[in-house]
Structure 1
């Protein structure tokens, strides 16, 4: 089989161009693989659910009869243990769930620190 001489540089150009376009697309072009897109969507949806549940947590804390005692206990706890202390109060329990959610507890803690009442 006789390959034309002009076909070799064309083939090499196509290969180099494909590699360059792929590299630029994934690094600067914003292209994502399916797995990365799924991870990003899951992370975003989790963040939105937590943000929607923070008012529920704050409301549970406001209606709790032992609020002052529990808030004092949370404030006395060291900074890195406050999330666990808030989880023990039950305020970070998603309605319909049996256990507290760590991410909701962290977001609720931030909201309660803004609310000094």
Structure 2
């Protein structure tokens, strides 16, 4: 299962559990209603993580909000940032190239 954000931002094919495959537009409509949908990668489409820490089984980062040095810290969700896990604005170029709409996760202190 995935959150509506993941289904829309990862540009994956999504459908409600036990339903026939549906278009990404339907997934966004379900996400707007707050419904969780099952996610599966489309055949022939590469993963969302092309190069970050590929030697690890699963890339997971934890940050305690109290330890942040700035009152607002942007974290990358497009996997394109040169300063990953921090956002460097690379999503702007990614969005223009792909038609995607992904932006950073903003963590407030």
Q: Going by fraction, where is helix more abundant, 1 or 2?
A: 1
Larger radius of gyration: 1
TM-score by length of 1: 0.21
Q: Going by fraction, where is strand more abundant, 1 or 2?
A: 2
TM-score by length of 2: 0.22
